[in-house]
Amino acid sequence: MEKLDYTQINPRGRKVKILATTGPASREPEMLRKLFKAGVDAFRVNMSHGDHATHAQTIASIRALEKEFLRPIAIFCDLQGPKLRVGTFKDGKAVIRHSGHFTLDRNPEPGDETRVELPHPELFGLLEKGQRLLINDGKIRLRVISADDDKILCSAEVGGVISDRKGVNVPDAEIPIPAMTEKDRKDLAFAVEQGADWIGLSFVQRPEDLAEARRLMGGKGALCAKIEKPMAVRRLDEIIEMSDGVMVARGDLGVELEPQEVPPLQKRIVNKTRLMGKPVIVATQMLESMIESPAPTRAEVSDVANAVYDGADAVMLSAETAAGDWPEEAVTIMDKIAVQVEQDEAYLERVRMLDTPADPTTADALSHACMTIADTVPISAITVFTGSGSTARRVARERPSVPMLVLTPSMRTARRLALLWGTHAVATKDIGSFEEMIAKGKRMALRHGFGKAGSKMIALAGVPFGTPGSTNLLHVVTLVGDELDRHEGA
Q: Which residues are catalytic?
A: 44, 85, 226, 284
Residues 6+ apart with CB under 8 A from 212: 178, 179, 180
Distance CA 459, CA 384 (A): 6
At residue 105, φ and ψ (nearest 5 deg) are -135, -175
> Using an 8 Å Cβ cutoff, are 317 and 42 in contact?
no
Distance CA 95, CA 114 (A): 9
> Using an 8 Å Cβ cutoff, are 214 and 208 in contact?
no
Q: Pick the closest to residue 58 from 84, 29, 31, 81 (CA basis).
A: 29
Q: Which DSSP symbol is given to 4?
A: P
At residue 274, φ and ψ (nearest 5 deg) are -60, -40
Residues 6+ apart with CB under 8 A from 359: none
In angstroms, the Cα distances linking 36 to 10, 41, 433 are: 13, 7, 35
Q: How many CA atoms lie within 13 A of 353 on its CB side?
A: 13
Task: Measure CA of the first residue to CA of the last residue in the chain; give whole Å.
Answer: 10
Residue 129 neighbours by CB distance under 10 Å: 10
Q: Pick the closest to residue 48 from 22, 85, 16, 86 (CA basis).
A: 22
In angstroms, the Cα distances linking 346 to 240, 256, 310 are: 29, 34, 12
In angstroms, the Cα distances linking 180 to 122, 186, 393 are: 15, 10, 28
Distance CA 395, CA 391 (A): 6
